Amino acid sequence: EIVLTQSPGTLSLSPGERATLSCRASQSVSSSFLAWYQQKPGQAPRLLIYGASSRATGIPDRFSGSGSGTDFTLTISRLEPEDFAVYYCQQYGSSPRITFGQGTRLDIK
């Protein structure tokens, strides 16, 4: 099973700042199978990024994804108040063996 480790666990930033969230895989993951989700309290997760770098429908261009192999990054260029949430990376493995990272909590500083 591929383990995804996200860092940091919590990130405290102010609106307008840049956020960089990391997702590291225990073994190589095809970029096609790496996605990012945003979850706000009391809500279901929402797809942000798929294929490591493609934005889902309706996602603002301040969100971007990058990376390959075992290291992936979600960047939010300029934080808006509505961006403070928990973010999860996920890989859709074969069989399937789907795994999520433990999440990064993005807090307002």
Partner 1 sequence: EVQLLESGGGLVQPGGSLRLSCAASGITFSSYAMSWVRQAPGKGLEWVSSISGSGGSTYDADSVKGRFTISRDNSKNTLYLQMNSLRAEDTAAYYCAKAYCSSTTCYYFDYWGQGTLVTVSS
What is the contact surface with partner 1 in residues (CB under 8 A)?
32-33, 35, 37, 39, 43-47, 50-51, 56, 88, 90, 92, 94-96, 98-103
Nearest approach in angstroms of CB 45 to partner 1 is 6
Nearest approach in angstroms of CB 33 to partner 1 is 6
Residue 58 CB contacts under 8 Å (≥ 6 apart), including other chains: none
**If DSSP codes are grouped into helix, strand and coil, which group holds residue 82?**
helix
Nearest approach in angstroms of CB 15 to partner 1 is 25
**If DSSP codes are grouped into helix, strand and coil, which group holds residue 29?**
strand
How far does Cα 27 stand from its chain's mean position?
Answer: 18
Of 9 and 16, the one with the shorter C-beta distance to partner 1 is 9
Question: Tokens 């996605």 appear where?
Answer: 35
